[in-house]
Structure 1
Amino acid sequence: MKQGIHPENYRFVVFKDMSNGESFLCRSTAASKETITWEDGNEYPVIKLEISNTSHPFYTGKNVLVDTAGRIDKFKKRYAKK
């Protein structure tokens, strides 16, 4: 592999799936201003995700509807008149 192309600032970060509340600890370079206390008692930066492997239909085998901005309600309201 080429030298000097990978970032050096890897650290532990908690990724939290906002659709089902699942969290996991992983190393990342992603920046975050928020922190969370993890199961080991240490405080880590937290990155909030809309969807992860714990809620994605491909990985779970379930067809789950994730409506984060009320898109379905807006659609029904817009086309209810027709």
Structure 2
Amino acid sequence: MTDDAEIRAQAAREVCPFLSAKQTAFHLGISPNTLRGMRLAGKGPKARRHGHNWRYHIDDIETWSLARGGGEGDV
């Protein structure tokens, strides 16, 4: 993970560790529709339903991304 990504992830944990689907998609550099399709197929980061909204914990996002080779050196 790059220093910038680590700083942003830490800031998210301190404020609110749960990101909306739109925020998660932006963080991963994919479209919200792609993220939704991945969730429905069981291939995306772990998601939790809070009321009517899907939320993603920053730690789950980072774990999922790193497991797929999304890490340091990737841009």
TM-score class, shorter? under 0.3
The structure carrying a bigger strand percent of its residues is 1
The structure carrying a bigger helix percent of its residues is 2
**Greater RCO between the two (CA within 8 Å, min separation 6)?**
2
Bigger Rg, which one: 1
TM-score by length of 2: 0.26
TM-score by length of 1: 0.25
